[in-house]
Amino acid sequence: MDSLLTDLKSLGLIVLILVGLPIVVIGGISLCVIVGDAVAKRFPRRRRAGQNAGEFRVVRSRLNRLARPTWLLTPTQARGFSKLGGDPDLPLAIDWPDGAKSPRAFLAQIDLAEAQARGALDWLPAEGRLYFFWDDWRAGFADEVRVVHSLDAAGEPRSPPPGLAVKQRFGERRAAFLSMTSIPSLDWLGVDYGDLDVSEDELDQLAEMPHEPFGDELQHRIGGYPCEIQGVCMPLECEHLARGLKYDYEAEIPPAIARASKSWRLLLQIDTDPALKMQWGDGGRLYVFVRAQHARAGDFSKTVTISQCY
């Protein structure tokens, strides 16, 4: 009897091993697959250069096709109207814009007719003058920079109101316009960097394309695409700021906002410029955007400003 029980126990153990072992093995394989997929999604593997190089060429071609003209504001000795800093040549009929707690600081003034003569931007008026005023108390809000458009003749240089702090009275530099071409960043394509089947070197090349034409030049610019410091989709951020909404880059974007975001154009990019005592955070930039349809109509009352720094 004891021998029979021993045989039955041995048989049961064998059955358990035969049945359980495949389950354990299959479960382990499944767990490895699940973990492997999660790791692959979180840390996408970069291929070596030369393998499936087609996607790199396709993306690079798309970026080049989307290129837009831009005007680089370069220093000049000519006594023209356009300039950065100094005192604005405001017409008498225009009041100095107020800020949240003090008068706004004068940033720049642009002669549109002079600029358009260097290479037309079809979304900007052919004439008139633009004046840009900045309020540091409105940082993070759409109206951080206020833009005034005037068809009146330029006035005499006007000193700032007494309430403007000395540190917000910037140095002056006359500006000429150098027509160049700007390339968008991958954010303007709506491409997730991690989804690209490109090598690390090729990804670096794509990321550097917007910066290459300008080298080490200070990037005071009108039109084209911004040279971003942080990887955020600026058109979507503009649309959210214009609507008074918080932009969550990880959230799903409603189709209406995605469509409307395509109308934004870079009106002015102002770089950190120590010579003019312009400092935006830690070596950052100001980006002023306007809807193309508003700019064509001469309406610059609803611009949106984004500031970025390192």
Does the structure show a pLDDT above 50 at 23?
A: no
Q: Which fold has domain 70-308?
A: Hypothetical protein YwqG fold (2.30.320)
Residue among 300, 296, 292 at smallest CA distance from 235: 292
Does the structure show a pLDDT above 60 at 37?
A: no
Summarize the confidence of residues 34-58 as an average pLDDT: 54
User: For the chain, which residues make up each domain, given as ranges?
Assistant: 1-43, 70-308
60: enclosing H helix or E strand: helix 54-65
Residue among 295, 243, 286, 285 at smallest CA distance from 264: 295
Separation between Cα atoms, residue 268 and residue 74, nearest integer Å: 14
**CB hemisphere CA count around 228 (13 angstroms):** 16
Q: What percent of the chain has pLDDT over 90?
A: 71
Separation between Cα atoms, residue 224 and residue 196, nearest integer Å: 25
Model confidence at 6, pLDDT cuts 50, 70, 90, reads very low
**What's this model's pTM, rounded to 2 decimal places?**
0.82
Summarize the confidence of residues 36-61 as an average pLDDT: 59
CA distances from 155 to 33, 91, 134, 152, 174 (A): 72, 4, 20, 9, 16
For the ranges 135-149, 244-258, 285-299, which has the lowest average pLDDT?
A: 244-258
pLDDT winner (highest mean) among 40-44, 84-88, 209-213: 84-88
Residue among 45, 62, 43, 41 at smallest CA distance from 198: 45
Separation between Cα atoms, residue 143 and residue 286, nearest integer Å: 12
pLDDT confidence of residue 191: 75
Summarize the confidence of residues 149-177 as an average pLDDT: 96
Please give the sequence-ordered ranges of beta strands (E in DSSP) within 39-183, or none if there are none: 68-75, 83-84, 105-111, 129-134, 145-150, 173-182
Summarize the confidence of residues 92-119 as an average pLDDT: 95
Beginning with the edge strand found earlier in the chain, give each strand of the sheet holding 285-291 in spatial order. 145-150, 129-134, 105-111, 83-84, 173-182, 68-75, 221-222, 264-271, 285-291, 304-308
Mean pLDDT of the chain: 85
pLDDT confidence of residue 9: 45
pLDDT confidence of residue 14: 40
Q: Phi, psi at residue 257, to the nearest 5°?
A: -70, -40
pLDDT confidence of residue 169: 97
Q: What percent of the chain has pLDDT over 70?
A: 83
